A and B are shown apart, each in its own frame.
Chain A
């Protein structure tokens, strides 16, 4: 949330390294033929070498995994510099990584991991079970603001059996392994003696990180770039030495400058390209777009304490008045799909039979009419009992959201509802909407999710008054469903429950769900085999290579 790029996107950034689903791969187009050689004809042995330059609007603040707060940083930690105990394969099943195997006790109360014996920290020390135990202990330490701690709620205690075997006790949980796919293991021998409260300021994070992943740290020039180089000792059965000699991440905080760098060849990948460039990329034979669905939806929250938003049929009518397909085209340049509810099409439990509420302004108007909202005085705005259907729609200073707010204003005007868009500075907006008094009528933001959908903070009756229960939603039937999701160890049962959850929310429309975001990276002509999916763009970084003329 700390960076300009973050402000424009999500209300909350959870560690969304992993998100689900089969068959939703990337759609990187074929590389341009104009750029010379046909990449498929280059033998594997000739793919080694070169420096790939990535650039994004946001800075990578730290390599200390206990303090990561954004999506790109998470990826550099998990896929570039460090390793995680497990990782997701491209079918989103956990597969061995630092752990070579694991076993679960019959009562599901114990998990034993056996680690690889050939993994070394880049300073030469072996990576052992004690590193894993150290990382786990810190993550569980309440004094440490680890943002993804809830993924380890079910994990209770740890016991190191020998250098390469470690046993955990836990409460049975449906998605118990998830946390380990997103948590890079940290080196105990470097960080152990640092008190928890001093960990954030330890130079390990910003100037001297030591990892054990496929790339080693070379240099960090704050505000400018991070440089990594291939780790020649990375275990061969995990892919061995990456093709690239070097991987550089540059921060270029202005999107026009960044795109100019991409076009002139100064940068090989514009990470998370702004949708406004989609058309230019399509027209330029040298550039490619690699898009992938991202677990983030944009929404309008309706404050039910206002007379107009208390009734679910009215909220549904408001949704039906909005042409969400056009909105995605205009605002996202096609990088998104209209949303049904809180469960996006990226999620494995998504029900393909779900349909968003239709765009039907006439029906919407009829529903409002039936609910008693009529334009009695003929000023074009409906009223009921002397209350005009007019409210303030507040959003942050992101250009994208400003555009949505204006479109929404237009759509609603057609059904006799007045929305007055107002731009607030992001932090100020967050203060307002999370305050117990809920100082807003309607607000427009986006929400980033993880693969594990436990969203009780947003919807459960007992969270009313807590910061994230924006719209004081309460439905005991929904509570029961949400409570059962994490307990459902059977995949089919869990799928059923998640679908039930999605359906109940979509029916009640406490939010208007606008669209699920697609993210995209823009690629220059050199960089090959970038295939982003839900794990992020860097999951396959080991296989990236540079086409040389």
Chain B
């Protein structure tokens, strides 16, 4: 296990190097640069030249590349001129918000997806199966931002009774600092509901399809028939024998859905005004705030690589047949 983990971590190095290289190249090819973002007749050409110098933009490409590589290895991405503060601070503020949002969405994806999928398989071809299949396909094909906007319009509607309304933007309420600790927790939780739902629901629909298939396959196995034949109650057959085995292939989906989650967070964070990494990246790209773009892309890359590793390790944990060494 340890050797396997170590090998996978080593394999991650070339992948991350690839990410860095691609990002540097893409930014280099993109028109405009931070200095044009600063375009203003009152800013003298000398200052713009100095900005270019500070960012190393006047260096040849390979030297710029080496500068970025150094940043990645030291973790010091320098200074965000868009936000007027160190990149490390930008990340420190944004990363927890994104992680919380992603974690809650992930939970939603798998809990809801597995529950619905399992239920569909158990009641195969029933009205319930057909109805939920229709709904999940509908949700699956809906763009996340559109769903987000619809949720926003619905849950902020003045026509809705006050108790049913949910916060549609931000992480906390304006009067957060005056709240008691329990109230604060509730306030944060309420703010999470809509964005995590909008971010996760399409993937949950996807997972439910996989789960339905996996569960159906397990249910047709001999050992399920054996379990039934020896007189186990149906709930025990489903929950203890079928569900646990059906979950094994689902774990590998984790590695598939995490990148989707981070990608989706860019749009969802903008729609729900969620101050996370996705939005930091989005704003940084528009402002050609290269240091933030680099840091965010790299971090997303690290998160995805790491998540894939965890998924593979989990796979080995849940399925004793798979050995990692």
Contact = CB atoms under 8 A, between A and B. Distances in A.
Interface stretch (B38-46, B67-75, B102-110, B224-232): B38-46
A14 to B, nearest CB: 7
Nearest to A13: B40
Contact of A2 (B31, B172, B287): B287
A203 to B, nearest CB: 7
Contacts of A203: 85
Interface string A261-274: 10111100000000
B82 interface: yes
A223 B40 contact: no
Given A61-B82, A224-B171, A145 B47 contact: yes
A254 B158 contact: no
Given A14-B42, A250-B170, A257-B169, A2 B273 contact: no
Interface stretch (A319-327, A400-408, A425-433): A425-433
B168 A257 contact: yes
Given A222-B90, A264-B165, A427-B31, A2 B152 contact: no
Interface string B98-118: 000000000000000000000
Interface stretch (A62-70, A82-90, A381-389): A62-70
B279 to A, nearest CB: 6
Contact of B152 (A51, A149, A201, A256): A256
Bin the interface of chain A by size. 35 or more
A148 B287 CA distance: 20
B288 A260 contact: no
Contacts of A222: 83, 85, 90, 93-94, 275
Contact of B94 (A145, A223, A254): A223
Contact of B85 (A14, A69, A149, A206): A206
Contacts of B153: 256, 260
Contact of B81 (A12, A150, A200, A426): A200
B187 to A, nearest CB: 13
B86 interface: yes
Max chain A Cβ within 10 angstroms of own Cβ: one of B51, B90, B167, B169:
B169
A59 interface: yes
Max chain A Cβ within 10 angstroms of own Cβ: one of B31, B158, B288:
B31
A1 B275 CA distance: 20
A51 B168 contact: no
A53 interface: yes
Contacts of A146: 42
B324 interface: no
A144 B172 CA distance: 36
A252 interface: yes
B79 interface: yes
Interface string A481-496: 0000000000000000
B41 A225 contact: no
A257 B275 contact: no
Nearest to B287: A2
Interface string A218-230: 0101111101000
B271 A430 contact: no
A61 B156 CA distance: 28
A41 B51 CA distance: 56
Contacts of B32: 425-428, 430-431
A223 B280 contact: yes
Contact of B47 (A64, A142, A263, A426): A142
Given A147-B43, A425-B31, A223 B174 contact: no
A69 B82 CA distance: 10
A201 B79 contact: yes
A172 B15 CA distance: 64
A253 B273 contact: yes
A144 B50 CA distance: 11
Contacts of B288: 427
Contacts of A148: 42
Given A3-B287, A248-B174, A256-B152, A221 B275 contact: yes
A257 B272 contact: yes
Nearest to B85: A206
Contacts, number: 170
B172 to A, nearest CB: 8
Interface in A329-354: none
Nearest to A284: B158
A453 interface: no
A119 B47 CA distance: 34
Interface string B258-288: 0000000000001111011001101100111
Interface string A361-386: 00000000000000000000000000
B36 A431 contact: yes
A222 B171 CA distance: 12
Interface string A130-155: 00000000000011111111100000
Nearest to A198: B79
Contact of A260 (B44, B50, B156, B276): B156
Contacts of B158: 263-265, 286
Contacts of B44: 142, 145
Nearest to B50: A143
Max chain B Cβ within 10 angstroms of own Cβ: one of A143, A254, A426:
A254
A66 B177 CA distance: 31
B156 A263 contact: yes
A192 to B, nearest CB: 19
Interface in B18-47: 30-33, 36-44, 46-47
A59 to B, nearest CB: 7
B270 A254 contact: yes
A1 B167 CA distance: 30
B289 A219 contact: no
A307 interface: no
Contacts of B31: 425, 427-428, 431-432
A4 B174 contact: no
A409 to B, nearest CB: 24
B157 A264 contact: yes
Max chain A Cβ within 10 angstroms of own Cβ: one of B156, B279, B288:
B156
Interface in A196-240: 200-201, 203, 205-207, 219, 221-225, 227
A145 B94 CA distance: 28
Interface of A: 1-4, 7, 12-14, 51, 53, 59, 61-62, 64, 67, 69, 142-150, 200-201, 203, 205-207, 219, 221-225, 227, 248, 250-254, 256-258, 260-261, 263-266, 286, 425-428, 430-432, 434, 457, 467-468
Given A427-B30, A430-B36, 8 more contacts: A2-B37, A142-B47, A143-B50, A203-B85, A224-B172, A254-B273, A263-B158, A266-B169
30 contacts: A1-B38, A2-B37, A2-B289, A3-B283, A7-B286, A12-B39, A14-B42, A53-B174, A62-B84, A67-B84, A150-B41, A201-B86, A203-B85, A219-B177, A221-B171, A222-B85, A222-B90, A223-B275, A223-B280, A225-B174, A250-B169, A250-B273, A261-B156, A263-B156, A427-B30, A427-B32, A427-B33, A428-B31, A467-B41, A468-B41
Interface of B: 30-33, 36-44, 46-47, 50-51, 79, 81-86, 90, 93-94, 149, 152-153, 156-158, 165, 167-172, 174-175, 177, 270-273, 275-276, 279-280, 282-283, 286-289
